[in-house]
Amino acid sequence: MRNVETVLAGLDTARPGLEELYRDLHAHPELSHQEHRTAAKVADELRALGYEVHCGIGGTGVVGVLRNGAGPCVLSRAELDALPLEEETGLPYASTATDAGGRPLMHACGHDLHMACLLGAARLLSQATGAWRGTHVALFQPAEETGDGARAMLADGLTERVPRPEVCLAQHVLPYPAGQVLTRPGAVLSAADDYRVTLYGRSAHASAPDRGVDPVVLASMLVVRLQTVVAREVSALSPVVLTVGSIHSGTNPSNIPERAEIQINVRTYREDVRRRVKDAVTRIARAESAASDSPRPPEIDHFGMFPPTVNDEAATAKVAAAFAARFNGRAVPLDLQTASEDFSEIPDAFGVPYTYWAFGGADPAAYEAAAGRDTITADVPGNHSTRFAPPIRPTLDTGVQAAVVAALAWLAP
């Protein structure tokens, strides 16, 4: 632990600058693949710390490499992008940014914190090179929210442009009490699949429905029947979430339209279950269309996907032990999460293990009060909420420390 204490000794001095950096990132969010200001700021910070900087990987991706003698190579990842949401936190540094179309933007998922924490870890590691040996790779990925940022970096030659790591690390702020760090071996985040199903009817006047085929009724039957996939076609021991998030058809009340479109989101943790649900969506859409005497089969477009995040057991145990030594009772197990993310594509491309953990970003007193009322989901704003506002202290300190402690589990002398 001596090397950990040596590196983290610089946190008190670095804290004011890191907090200001976080406020700046929070106030200037940018959407996926548009993170130009954010990427430039990250690159400038890394250069000032002595990192070898690679810019524009996959569009706006930034990678910093700090070589510090012979030893392991560890890759730590953070994300650059924000969301098209209007902030309602009331923070003095709340975002007032908009995109080119005037939509309000917000860092509602914590990526601003992730960047500040990784830059903080990079700063502390660069200032205490006598306490560790090896290579630290700080990777800032674009477009995590759209699920194609990691893929874009890999397509742009990421694995040939930076050193091959021994392990890849990532963390995410979640609505647990600030100050906690949470780990989980094995499955931690779900795979996500988006489907667009176009259903076909035959147009007619609403007063003569017998002359047409009503795709609104067809879509309604499909929505109801799809709920049986989870309830009746998948084992209760295999978690699955299936949500119909969008349904559109018609333009006026006196006409039966030609078509209807529904969009479906599916979350799974096992590849065999993932395939089974996909097959069920296809089968049910075709069967309901046939039952409604649709004039043509449905079109099914699998247009979006995130891989599952399955933590390496040994790497996770190593990080969990390091966290237990540093954070004591604040290092706790992480619940299985139904959210999804594309981080795993990076270590998979390198062919190396990875671990992904969480750190708390909810006010501890507010969290405890909500827990006592059994109202955590209603009263503690979570990721993607317009009210998501992790308290800077101790959230930022915890994230910086966790990033340092995890990296030093491999980079120790």
Please write the tens of the pLDDT for every residue from 281-311: 999 999 999 999 999 999 999 999 999 999 9
**Residue ranges of the chain with per-residue pLDDT less than 70:** none
How high is the pLDDT of residue 92? 97
Residue spans per domain, the chain: 2-188+308-411, 191-306
Q: What are the strands, taking DSSP E only, across 240-314?
A: 241-249, 255-256, 259-268, 299-306, 309-311
Q: How many H helices and E strands in the chain?
A: 13, 16
Q: How far apart are CA 32 and CA 40, in angstroms?
A: 15
Q: How far apart are CA 182 and CA 175, in angstroms?
A: 11
Rg (CA), the chain: 24
Cβ(39)–Cβ(140) under 8 Å? yes
Q: How far apart are CA 360 and CA 37, in angstroms?
A: 27
What secondary structure, in 3-state letters, does 321-348 show? HHHHHHHHHHEEECCCCCCCCCCCHHHH
Q: How far apart are CA 22 and CA 144, in angstroms?
A: 19
Q: How far apart are CA 15 and CA 254, in angstroms?
A: 63
Q: How far apart are CA 19 and CA 21, in angstroms?
A: 5
Looking at the domain that runs over 191-306, which CATH code has it been given?
Answer: 3.30.70.360
How high is the pLDDT of residue 413? 76
Please write the tens of the pLDDT for every residue from 206-239: 999 999 999 999 999 999 999 999 999 999 999 9
How high is the pLDDT of residue 1? 72
How high is the pLDDT of residue 77? 98
How high is the pLDDT of residue 412? 79
Task: Render 222-240 in DSSP notation, one character per residue.
Answer: HHHHHHHIIIIIS-TTS--
Alpha helices in 199-312 (DSSP H): 215-228, 271-291
Looking at the domain that runs over 2-188+308-411, which CATH code has it been given?
Answer: 3.40.630.10
Domains 2-188+308-411 and 191-306 equal at CATH topology level: no
Q: How far apart are CA 153 and CA 345, in angstroms?
A: 10
Name the helix (H) or strand (E) containing 68.
strand 61-68
The pair of structure tokens assigned to 5 is 């204490």
Which residue do the tokens 């030594």 mark?
325
> How far are the Cα atoms of 42, 43, 85, 109, 216 from residue 23, in angstroms, in the given order?
14, 17, 17, 15, 47
